[in-house]
Amino acid sequence: MGAFSTGVPPPRRVAHRATTASLQALLPFIAESSLGSAGVYIGTDAFSRSPFYYDPIRMYLDGVIGDPNILVIGRLGYGKSALMKALSRRLNVVGYSTIYLDPKGETTPLAGAFGVEPLRLAAGGALRLNPLDEKLASATGLDPTRERELLMRAVLPVMLERPLRPAELRIVSEVVREVVESCPQPTLRDVHAGLAARGAVTCDPADALWDYIHGPAGALFDAPTSAGVDLNAPLLALNLRRLTQTLTAEKQRLVTLALAAAWLFAIVSRRRGYKLFVADEAWFMLRHRAAAEWFQAQWKLCRATSTANVAVLHRLSDLEAADGTMASVRGLLSDCATKVIFNQEPGEIPLLQKHLGLSSTEVEYVRSLGRAWALWRVGERSFVVKLDVQPAEWAIVDTDGAMRGEVLDGPED
Ligand SMILES: Nc1ncnc2c1ncn2[C@@H]1O[C@H](COP(=O)(O)OP(=O)(O)OP(=O)(O)O)[C@@H](O)[C@H]1O
Ligand SMILES: [Mg+2]
């Protein structure tokens, strides 16, 4: 059976046969010569009918793309997570490890394929992750104190629901530096004590931090990281499904995701070798200006750490609708040399054209891509590819089980 016997992307305008070379002339940026065979097999390119291979870091090192980061964007249920799980497994074969921020709790089968268990963070559970943990100090020359300072400067505005004032920013930085230098095992509680000790100027951020620490998720991030967490596991998947389900306030969910991401970023920065860091459902975090700016800064720091960062989004309008964060997300988009674009609603097209620079021909395809098909923009080249799921991968990529009433994430979840 051919790789595109179903869900063929929009053939509306391609009613004739032509060689790849002539198609390239007719449809520049759509019908591309192959990227070559650097990387792992993804599927068959609908135009050249040749296999499409991909390896973000190797292609970056070979000068094929300007950075190894990946934006994955597409409608609900069109195959974004499936692609990342399959890519994670396939890249592992060529030496990558994966760090996976999993807000929906879908990585248990993937973890099984790696022979590990996901980390499950839940209110009332035993697992603790300390985003200020000194043990996680960078093995790659980044400044861990600065990373913690940036984290607090990002999450406090979310907790406060307003930007930090200049005096608050200065004191937050000072306090984090003091805490990291003086405490053998710094925690959020220590930062709170430092802010509270500075009196009236930082009374608002201190109170906001206090509220978070004493809220439903605070205790999970306000203690030393649990012993026994294997920081070197080839797949470190952090399952937040239970936790995010119990958090009703949006700002609590956002801060929780940012703290979880910060802990994972610290893992990324200490780990050697090629890595894929998947932030699934990243749109939620990127809706808030301070969180989005921090996230982008982390990506930039990752440049030194052989990491391909992946942000998974539904649609750009999710980001624009919030508080004007589009400005900072634009930077993030331009830091993604690879953009994998699944089907998008017609209303999203102007934003795709504006922010991703899609041509009218590419837009035409994106509007009518079938499930699991995606337009891959790799640098300046474009391909239309459906992930070819291997038999052994079905259990890993299937998320429709929840709709069939199956328990996806193991009985304990
Ligand atoms: N390449 C593929 N071939 C066949 N089926 C696929 C493919 N990719 C995904 N699917 C099926 O589509 C379903 C949804 O996929 P997935 O969970 O990856 O969607 P998603 O885009 O991440 O959705 P959401 O936005 O809700 O997280 C899965 O059950 C999976 O089995
Ligand atoms: Mg998904």
Candidate from 18-22, 274-278, 299-303 with smallest mean pLDDT: 18-22
- Whether the pLDDT of residue 11 is over 70: the answer is no
Q: What is the CATH number of domain 1-124+274-413?
A: 3.40.50.300
pLDDT interval class at 375 (50, 70, 90): very high
Strands 275-279 vs 97-102: parallel, antiparallel or unpaired:
parallel
What are the extents of the domains in the chain? Answer: 1-124+274-413
81: CA distance to ligand 1 center in Å? 6
> By three-state DSSP, how is residue 98 classified?
strand
Site to substitute for ligand 1 among 83, 89, 397, 403, most atoms within 8 A of C-beta:
397
For range 65-81, the mean pLDDT: 95
Specify the pLDDT at position 379. Answer: 92
The whole-angstrom separation of Cα 353 and Cα 329 is: 15
The pLDDT, as a whole number, for residue 92 is 96
> What confidence tens digit (pLDDT) does each residue in 53-63 have?
999 999 999 99
pLDDT level of residue 289 (50, 70, 90 thresholds): confident
Segment 91-150, tens digit of pLDDT: 999 999 999 999 999 999 999 999 999 999 999 899 999 999 866 655 556 677 888 898
> Nearest to residue 240, comparing CAs of 227, 259, 268?
259
Cα separation, 257 vs 219, whole angstroms: 14
pTM metric for this prediction: 0.88
131 in Cβ contact with 189 (< 8 Å): no
In the prediction, which pLDDT does 8 show? 47
Q: What is the pLDDT of residue 25?
A: 41
Note the pLDDT of residue 33: 53
Mean pLDDT, range 277-284, rounded to an integer: 92
48 touches 27 (CB < 8 A): no
List the beta bridge partners of residue 381: 378
Please state, rounded to an integer, the average pLDDT across all residues of the chain. 85
Cα 341 to Cα 59, 139, 223, 303, distances in angstroms? 19, 34, 40, 23
Residue spans of alpha helices (H) in 67-136:
80-93, 108-114
Q: Tell me, what's the pLDDT at 116?
A: 96
Q: Which ligand is nearest to the CA of 87?
A: 1
Tell me which residue of 309, 116, 333 sits closest to 231, measured CA to CA: 116
Is 159 within 8 Å of 251 (Cβ atoms)? yes
Nearest one of 378, 358, 355, 354 to 367, comparing CA atoms:
358
For the beta sheet containing 97-102, the strands, ordered from the edge strand earlier in sequence to the opposite edge, are 119-120, 235-239, 97-102, 275-279, 307-313, 70-73, 338-341, 373-378, 381-386
The pLDDT, as a whole number, for residue 299 is: 84
Does residue 411 register a pLDDT over 60? no
What does the pLDDT look like over 166-221, one tens digit per residue?
Answer: 999 999 999 999 998 898 889 999 999 999 999 999 999 999 999 999 999 999 99
Average pLDDT over residues 373-380: 95
Residues with CB under 5 A from ligand 2 (ion): 81
Spatial contact of 319 and 286, defined as CB atoms under 8 Å apart: yes
Residue 76 Cα to ligand 1 middle (Å): 8
The verdict on the CB of residue 387 being under 6 Å from ligand 1 is: yes
Structure confidence at residue 290 (pLDDT): 82
Q: Is 353 in the pocket of ligand 1 (CB under 6 A)?
A: no
Which pLDDT score, from 0 to 100, does residue 15 have? 44
From ligand 2's centre to the CA of 232, what distance in Å? 25
> For residue 324, what pLDDT band results from cuts at 50, 70 and 90?
low
What percent of the chain has pLDDT above 70? Answer: 84
Confidence grade of residue 400 (pLDDT, cut at 50, 70, 90) = confident
Q: Where is pLDDT greater, at 391 or 411?
A: 391
Report whether residue 78 contacts ligand 1, using a CB cutoff of 6 Å: yes
Half-sphere exposure of 132 (CA within 13 A, CB side): 28
Torsion-angle region of residue 164: left (phi > 0), alpha (psi -120 to 50) or beta?
Answer: beta
pLDDT on residue 152:
93
